[in-house]
A and B are shown apart, each in its own frame.
Chain A
């Protein structure tokens, strides 16, 4: 296995946004620990601050309180050290670049423009051979997402952050990409945080699933997932898998229920 990534420690993070005239508290007391080379999935109700948490870890935003530490470095230092790879639900490819130049963009930005071998390795890894010269508009949604993942990996980051990268895809493509994501993660051993809406997806790919509360978001339940790797689609049919999905689903419902109770208390 390749080198391990950086561990991530998030302690007591809060983040509030000014919105219109008022304020929206997205996160409060958010804690998370991902070991080096670990794979965590973050799941929670819509608008619970999952994406905000990920953006904070990526150094794209700054927390109002709390600390985020990665092997002694802050997210901003990690970002400035170009040690992070990100992929969002929107693949955010440059429409005027081809598949291979889109992937190369990341290398250009870290000053390794001539590393053509890395680009072709990644194209192979995500299964896009033969499409090197295609432009994003000529690709299917799933293929575009592969390009985005390849771009996030090409710099060999110490931390891979995925914000619902497969959210807009159909179930079949999604499962296929989950398999590939798992394979890539096994090959690379990069610390990975995946934000997702899908409980089966989280249980299928991650070492640990963190369930978040509604806004202001914090982690309310941890589920360690210790199925053997490599996990295959047969796993999806086992009772153990279903039991895990049920357990996570239970925590998620309880967490959603909390708001209702809290609001009832308020009145």
Chain B
């Protein structure tokens, strides 16, 4: 097994998977509307080729515009944060809040501004890339060599000159790594935007196919989305290798959380300033776009709706009850995904030929936005509570697996040699070297997975399950109940931000204990 070239092995595994898939679809799942055989998928694609290509082109165009605007905004934000460090925390808070928005429920609100056209999918697509590109660009700016910065300073030039001449150049590898992640994310944003209504595009095509239980169509769309998203990811990766061949591929999956400043006052400022900034942005958003009061809800309106209005108790019980369901199903999937990823990474470490045959698949699946394949999972698992759990588990599984396995492989050779010199068993190696080495990557992945899991859960609930806060939002949307819609968006975003910071706090503690000097 060890002598088979990886490409051959992957190809063989791919063929076996395809054959099994065909077999299952033709036998066990025949007539179940769950699984389309690969052959039927291909036939359906060619039969309705014009329809598919037209909508694919539409979604890709949308994603490209979103990619452009979102990344420009993110890089500009990172630039400001780099040149004016005081603003860093506040800008970071805005980027994180955007990342934590339940996109599917934001779409109806955005549509008030953009009208019924293509604006909302483009806007969502842009929002979907802001955070990751912001983090990548800022990391790139920070990685600029201190000595080069000192040279600029020694000529009496200021921060802006240092940014323009040194930091911007130094950031290219990190930027490329960020843009690589942004490509599939932009596609995800576009498709999610289309889920809530569009004239054309793969998203709306999916919603119609789900309505008419057109299994083949849903599978074709999922595969097309996968191919395009992965293609974008790989194209930018190739561009990166062409532009900066000297730089190793940067892994943004494990960018650590910045360290907290010590002192109570600093901490209070660190906590309150971002909240204030987000509120300011909230008001600015309503003011700039002059949204009518019927649709526009301020933070105070949301507060009133939840706590002081006549029907506040009713709103609370419906929103928080549904939120409880969502959190329960989501956390089940979240934990299952993380644990499963860790276990799989350990198995891959212990059984190298398994890793060589399956890892390329996992890497490819990590780059695709699992959310665009939500309809497929809905078909396969059904429309129960388990659907949400399954989608969240799949979403958190692949990035965590890839990051944790990479971290385990980075376990220093010397440590492994020491263990080997005592003839340590596999269990001892895993416990003493591999698992601890992967903890920082696990926690970084777990942190990023909080918002993405909630996003996946709400999309699943919105499209299919009819449970949880996603369902509350879709009902509010159809009834034009903008109060409940805003309340849900605000509560969900808050939950995601808090969850993100809780994991970040655990991460900081663990890093200080396990790998001092890694956190910045």
Given known A-B contacts A92-B414, A109-B428, A86 and B421 have beta carbons under 8 A apart: yes
In the complex, the answer to whether A96 meets B417 with C-beta atoms within 8 Å is no
Q: How far is the CA of A129 from the CA of B144 in the complex (A)?
A: 41
12 chain-A/chain-B pairs, Cβ below 8 angstroms: A60-B420, A60-B421, A82-B422, A85-B421, A86-B417, A90-B412, A90-B414, A94-B433, A94-B436, A106-B422, A109-B428, A137-B516
Q: Max chain A CB contacts within 10 Å: which of B419, B422, B436, B513?
A: B422
| Closest CB in chain A relative to B460 CB, distance in Å | 37
Contact among A88, A94, A109, A137 for B422, CB-based, below 8 A: A109
Contact among A82, A85, A92, A138 for B417, CB-based, below 8 A: A92
Task: Collect the chain A residues with CB atoms within 8 Å of residue B514's CB.
Answer: 95-96
Q: How far is the CA of A205 from the CA of B420 in the complex (A)?
A: 27
Task: Collect the chain A residues with CB atoms within 8 Å of residue B420's CB.
Answer: 60, 79
Q: Which of B402-424 touch A at CB < 8 Å? A: 412, 414-415, 417-424
Q: How far is the CA of A7 from the CA of B516 in the complex (A)?
A: 41
Q: How many residues of B contact A (CB 8 A)?
A: 20
| Nearest CB in chain A to that of B415: its residue | A92
| Nearest CB in chain A to that of B422: its residue | A109
Does B24 reach chain A (CB closer than 8 Å)?
no
Task: Collect the chain B residues with CB atoms within 8 Å of residue A96's CB.
Answer: 436, 513-515
In the complex, the answer to whether A88 meets B417 with C-beta atoms within 8 Å is yes
In the complex, the answer to whether B421 meets A95 with C-beta atoms within 8 Å is no
Q: How far is the CA of A86 from the CA of B419 in the complex (A)?
A: 10
Binary contact readout B477-520 vs A (1 if CB under 8 angstroms, 0 otherwise): 00000000000000000000000000000000000011111000
Top 7 closest A-B pairs, CB basis?
A92-B414, A137-B516, A109-B422, A96-B514, A86-B421, A90-B414, A80-B423
| Nearest CB in chain A to that of B517: its residue | A137
In the complex, the answer to whether B436 meets A92 with C-beta atoms within 8 Å is no
Does B432 reach chain A (CB closer than 8 Å)?
yes
| Nearest CB in chain A to that of B421: its residue | A86
| Closest CB in chain A relative to B97 CB, distance in Å | 33
In the complex, the answer to whether A109 meets B424 with C-beta atoms within 8 Å is yes
Task: Collect the chain B residues with CB atoms within 8 Å of residue A13's CB.
Answer: none
Binary contact readout A166-196 vs B (1 if CB under 8 angstroms, 0 otherwise): 0000000000000000000000000000000
Does A244 reach chain B (CB closer than 8 Å)?
no
In the complex, the answer to whether A79 meets B423 with C-beta atoms within 8 Å is yes
Q: How many residues of A contact B (CB 8 A)?
A: 29
Binary contact readout A38-75 vs B (1 if CB under 8 angstroms, 0 otherwise): 00000000000000000100111000000000000000
Does A105 reach chain B (CB closer than 8 Å)?
yes
Q: Max chain A CB contacts within 10 Å: which of B423, B428, B516?
A: B423
Does A151 reach chain B (CB closer than 8 Å)?
yes
Chain A interface (Cβ within 8 Å of chain B)?
A: 55, 58-60, 79-82, 84-86, 88, 90-96, 105-106, 108-110, 135, 137-138, 151, 155
| Closest CB in chain A relative to B144 CB, distance in Å | 25
Task: Collect the chain A residues with CB atoms within 8 Å of residue B432's CB.
Answer: 94, 105, 108
| Closest CB in chain A relative to B5 CB, distance in Å | 15
In the complex, the answer to whether B422 meets A155 with C-beta atoms within 8 Å is yes
Given known A-B contacts A86-B418, A94-B432, A135 and B516 have beta carbons under 8 A apart: yes
Q: How far is the CA of A55 from the CA of B517 in the complex (A)?
A: 31
Apart from the given pairs A94-B436, A110-B422, 15 other A-B contacts in the complex at a CB distance below 8 Å = A81-B423, A86-B418, A88-B414, A92-B414, A92-B415, A95-B515, A96-B513, A105-B432, A106-B422, A108-B428, A109-B419, A109-B422, A135-B516, A137-B517, A155-B422
Q: How far is the CA of A199 from the CA of B516 in the complex (A)?
A: 36
| Nearest CB in chain A to that of B516: its residue | A137
Q: How far is the CA of A151 from the CA of B517 in the complex (A)?
A: 23
Task: Collect the chain B residues with CB atoms within 8 Å of residue A58's CB.
Answer: 417, 421
| Closest CB in chain A relative to B170 CB, distance in Å | 26
| Nearest CB in chain A to that of B414: its residue | A92
